[in-house]
Structure 1
Amino acid sequence: MNASRLSGSLAGRVQQTAGEGSSAGDATGHLPSAARDLYVQEVAHATHLIFLTGVCIALVALAAAAFIEETPLRGKPAAPAPVTP
């Protein structure tokens, strides 16, 4: 199957599923339109906040990792470099 046929069949399946109103993950189907819009907006807002919080935590961890002193796990510590006057 070539790429154009694959993308065409996938697009057809997505359109077919969207037209039928898939029951998997469709928890808002019974809500009125205004409530559904509010629900979708709030879920999108919460997801945005979750990802922003994750990015902040990752940046703090990266900054902390940059300042951790590297120590060998096994063997003797490396001898300090000789200082030449």
Structure 2
Amino acid sequence: MMLLEKKKKRISNEKWKELVEEYKKSNVSKYEFFKQKNVPRSTFYKWHRILVENKRNTVKNKFIPIRVKECEEERSEEIKSEMIIESKKGIRIGF
């Protein structure tokens, strides 16, 4: 099945996502895939890059879980509470 007819048609974002996934699952070369689907190579590469970057950004923006150590119920007034947050890059913030 040809995706695009000889006339240029606009392909939706969802369709590009489907195409990129279909290519990943296929066992054909990129050249063959473009030829079979009648998809411009440069446009496919552009959408592939956009979708990969969006996926990376989505993963980066997720919250990560934190673990809180259990503390004793009874504490002396002299004991000072402290919290330190350290990033993967080594940045430390203390409270």
Shorter chain as denominator, the TM-score bin is 0.3 to 0.5
Structure possessing the higher radius of gyration over alpha carbons: 1
TM-score by length of structure 2 reads: 0.38
Q: Which has the higher strand share?
A: 2
TM-score scaled to structure 1, two decimals? 0.42
Q: Larger relative CO (CA 8 A, sep 6+): 1 or 2?
A: 2
